[in-house]
Amino acid sequence: MEATYWHEKWKKNNIAFHEASGNSLLSEFFSQLSLSKGDRVFVPLCGKTRDIAWLLSGGYRVVGAELSEMAVEQLFQEMDKTPEVEQIANLKRYKASNIDIYVGDIFDLDMEILQEVDGIYDRAALVALPQDIRPVYAQHLMAMTKVAPQLLISFEYEQSELAGPPFSISSQEIFERYNADYHLKMLASRDVPGGLKGLVPAREVAWLLTRR
């Protein structure tokens, strides 16, 4: 999607993709990543997700990437944190205790800027990207995180019945994107209550990806 699409979404507060209470699959399956308190978790295309507060409350450090500066400003406001803001190359970094969020194009983020991460939580990145961008994103993500283990949340539904995002991503595509570098395990596949956006039956799927 073009950057203007997401900026308009946030400007108009059209953020049905934002889960006010956080994601239940995160709290149920995050332990499968076998991380320790103090480990650093990367949340790509994070928006202002409440999942970040959940990770911080569990003693993890969080680093995120987000296109919309408005979303990041709201994230820190809602967590009652006052960030330090600095420009790093083409990105802005919002920094507070145990949290760094990079604002800008995720493809401008690299290993040198991101620094070491111990795990990845992808609930809103892969599913937000159109089909032609997803292979590039997957390779970029693995390169800048040194193939860190992932908890990946995806959706499956009849794509012809609803235009994404979030896009439908089949199990076959998950394997095509990641099987060469990761062992993949489906942890859960559950109906989305009321359907996706209340319009089409869908399933939310949790995947565990561990380095080969």
Non-local CB neighbours of 198 within 8 Å, separated by 6+ positions:
none
Is 66 labelled as part of a ligand binding site? yes
Strands 40-44 and 61-66: parallel
In the chain, the amino acid numbered 198 is G
Between the CA of residue 197 and those of 59, 112, 162, 164, 165, what are the distances in Å?
33, 38, 9, 10, 11
Cα–Cα dist 155/16, whole Å: 15
The structure tokens 């990367």 sit at: 42
Cα–Cα dist 138/133, whole Å: 9
Is 123 labelled as part of a ligand binding site? yes
Cα–Cα dist 37/186, whole Å: 25
Cα–Cα dist 47/37, whole Å: 23
DSSP letter at 38 equals T
Greatest extent of the chain over all pairs of C-alpha atoms, in Å: 44
Where do the H-state alpha helices sit in 19-133? 24-29, 51-57, 69-78, 111-114
The annotated binding site for S-adenosyl-L-methionine is made up of 10, 45, 66, 123
The annotated binding site is made up of 10, 45, 66, 123
